[in-house]
A and B are shown apart, each in its own frame.
Chain A
Amino acid sequence: TQLLEQSPQFLSIQEGENLTVYCNSSSVFSSLQWYRQEPGEGPVLLVTVVTGGEVKKLKRLTFQFGDARKDSSLHITAAQPGDTGLYLCAGGVYNNNDMRFGAGTRLTVKP
């Protein structure tokens, strides 16, 4: 059982559409991160959120950390083909020096 559940697992949309992907858990996290991974590469950090209810925006990407620090969402506005990739959420575990990942959402944006 994954500590972090991501949905949907796969998402295929047309260029210009909006989308939201979710990261949910029954556990509380000290922080939550979103990474993007391209084929043959390691994940690359997009954002870190640390405060319950926090919202961060990076250009067309909006990240939200749930009030209870158990869930997060990533919203992309006007998706572009360059947004194609595997989006992974990762949670920092309280009192433990490790980081747990969700299984990811594989996004395909068609021109």
Chain B
Amino acid sequence: NAGVTQTPKFQVLKTGQSMTLQCAQDMNHEYMSWYRQDPGMGLRLIHYSVGAGITDQGEVPNGYNVSRSTTEDFPLRLLSAAPSQTSVYFCASTFGVFGNTEAFFGQGTRLTVV
């Protein structure tokens, strides 16, 4: 069982470049979310989705876009990368409402913006 798959695992970008972090899950979960993890700050919610075609902003959405065209995929786009976006990014999916059911996480994407 693949669970939640994130690609790439590592990425280095130059300031101003754009890129898409991919996230796919094979558990037929309706709920998916993106977090960034920075030292001393835990995981902070960027964007989340409660189903195909429905997305909403989390705590730190600025500089990121998402879309949810299928149940399986939830890509995160950085439109113009900035050094402040250097972080480890995690995608998660849950069967039910976040916080009430188990969240399954990918292995993360470590992004460095220079």
Instruction: State the A residues within 8 Å of B (CB).
Output: 2, 4, 6, 9, 29-33, 35, 40-45, 48, 50, 88, 90-93, 97-104
B28 to chain A, nearest CB (A): 18
CA distance in complex: A45, B56 (Å): 24
14 A–B contact pairs at CB < 8 A? Answer: A33-B99, A40-B108, A43-B90, A43-B105, A44-B105, A92-B98, A97-B31, A97-B50, A97-B56, A98-B45, A99-B99, A100-B45, A101-B43, A101-B44
**Contact in complex: B42, A101 (CB < 8 Å):** yes
Instruction: State the B residues within 8 Å of A (CB).
Output: 4, 31, 33, 35, 40-45, 48, 50, 56, 58-59, 90, 92, 97-103, 105-108
**Contact in complex: B99, A45 (CB < 8 Å):** no
Chain B interface secondary structure, helix, strand, loop or mixed? strand
CA distance in complex: A31, B98 (Å): 10
CA distance in complex: A42, B68 (Å): 22
Q: Which residue of A lies closest to B4 (CB)?
A: A42
Q: Which residue of B lies closest to A102 (CB)?
A: B42
- Interface-centre pick from B42, B45, B48, B92 (highest chain A CB count, 10 A): B42
CA distance in complex: A9, B68 (Å): 36
**Contact in complex: A92, B100 (CB < 8 Å):** yes
Q: Which residue of A lies closest to B56 (CB)?
A: A97
Contact partners of A31 in chain B: CB under 8 A:
99-100
Across the interface, B42 reaches (CB within 8 A) one of A30, A40, A48, A103, namely A103
A62 to chain B, nearest CB (A): 19
